[in-house]
Amino acid sequence: MSNTNGLTNLESLESIAPLDINTIATPPKPRQQRVKVSRLKIDAGNGRIKFLANGYFDVIRSIISTVTTPRNTLGAFEWEGTQWLIGADADVVNDAESRIEVGLLSGAKINYFPHMVLGAIASHPTFLDGATKVKGEKFCKRLIVDIECLAFARGEELLTKLQTIQRFSKDGMTYEVQWRYFTVHPEGYGAAIVAHRQMKELDQHAKQFHILDIGNGTITLTTYNCFGNKPLAGIPRSGSGGGVLAILEKFSEAANYGDHETIYLDQLRKALERSIVIEDNGSKRYQAIVAGSRNDVGASLQVGLRDWKDKHPATRKVLKEVDEALLDGEYVFCCGGGFEIPPIEDFIRAQFPHSDRLIVLPTPGTISLRALEEIKNG
């Protein structure tokens, strides 16, 4: 294993085995046979699995169900005698024997990493076209995969879990898998690549910048050294939790205060995800509409965000460090799905008045994976 430039690169043992030698008589020199490798870039997050392969990018929810009936749908596969379904359909399927929402179960982001990888593969329209036939086998193919992923966790731990998958089936075909190269970047690394490029224009002499990531489970601040050609990550600052789930919890407390009909968490999450900022005669307010009742609980969202800032330990700690960095004249770039929600972005900006060095990156929810496209393979 090597660890350079803030990324960890692991080779699985099989990958160091020599490739088959082509024994054709001419030309006389033995030639190495080309192996077909499928490449997957994946950010298997607490709330959403973002993945990219063959120029196709998609996002699915981090929900994992076991089902009784095999399916031919996207996100469905069979592994170790169990039928799995991953993504939004896993939340609504009516024959689910068990269902896991990754963000709600401690350690699930690591323990269910293999399921999320297979879920991404099974949700990709062409990924399995990269499998090659096994001689004499009609219903078995071979798949060699290189993975590049974003993770807070240790790469060895994720690879060990992944290697428990030796074969899986989808739509009547069994795939024998070889996990070849496995590269782990720090979470938010794609955002750091874009920020690093911007830093070269904003302040050529800056030594470091910061990435603030509001994900589903956590709020994280990571410092990057920006002297060289690539951003080099330091140790991320976060605590437990503090992401959109924590905001949702405080939002729910505020919205369900008093004597009225209960508003369920899934209703509030949808209201939060489509919430907006409304400017009225020079003053701002948040609008968050609950489907069904059409009640606007934007005022409760405002209260919930304030409680999240004041009472959540990880949020308090991280936002204080953001303030330190800004006051020191350093740049803080924001990413993570939290910044796709306008009231969250507005609330964060409001904590740091007159800070033009707090920059929300474009498409903050997906930039961390998508910008990896710019890194050359190797």
Q: Which does 338 bind (CB under 5 to 8 A by kind): ligand ATP, Mg ion, none?
A: ligand ATP
- Residue 338 as a binder of Mg ion (CB under 5 A): the answer is no
Is there binding between residue 190 and Mg ion (CB under 5 A)? no
By a kind-dependent CB cut-off of 5 to 8 A, residue 87 interacts, out of Mg ion, ligand ATP, none, with none
The item of Mg ion, ligand ATP, none sharing an interface with residue 180, based on CB under 5 to 8 Å by kind, is: none
Q: Which of 50, 7, 49 is nearest to 184 (CA)?
A: 7
Contact indicator for 72, 171 with CB cutoff of 8 Å: yes
> Considering CB under 5 A, how many residues would be counted as binding Mg ion?
2
Q: Does 215 bind Mg ion (CB under 5 A)?
A: yes
Residue 130 in contact with Mg ion, rule: CB under 5 A: no
Cβ 283 to ligand ATP shortest distance, Å: 24
User: CA angle, 314 as apex, 310 and 320 as ends, to 5°?
Assistant: 65
For ligand ATP, give the closer residue by CB, 61 or 230. Answer: 61
Residue number, 117 or 254, with CB nearest to Mg ion: 117
167-177 burial string, b = 16+ CB within 10 Å, else e? ebebeeeebeb
Which option in Mg ion, ligand ATP, none does residue 332 bind, with CB closer than 5 to 8 A by kind?
none
- Binding of Mg ion at residue 186 (CB under 5 A)? no
**Cβ neighbours around 5 below 10 Å, total:** 16
The position carrying tokens 């709330």 is 47
Half-sphere exposure of 128 (CA within 13 A, CB side): 24
344 contacts: CB under 8 Å, gap ≥ 6: 214, 244, 247, 305, 338
Question: For Mg ion, which residue has the nearest CB?
Answer: 215
Contact set with ligand ATP (CB under 6 A): 45-48, 62, 109, 215-218, 243-244, 273, 336-338, 340-341, 365
Among 8, 40, 45, 78, binds Mg ion (CB under 5 A): 45
Dist. CA 196–CA 277, nearest whole Å: 30
Q: Which does 345 bind (CB under 5 to 8 A by kind): ligand ATP, Mg ion, none?
A: none
Helix axis angle, 155-162 relative to 113-123, nearest 10°? 60
* Residue ranges that bind Mg ion, judged by CB under 5 A: 45, 215
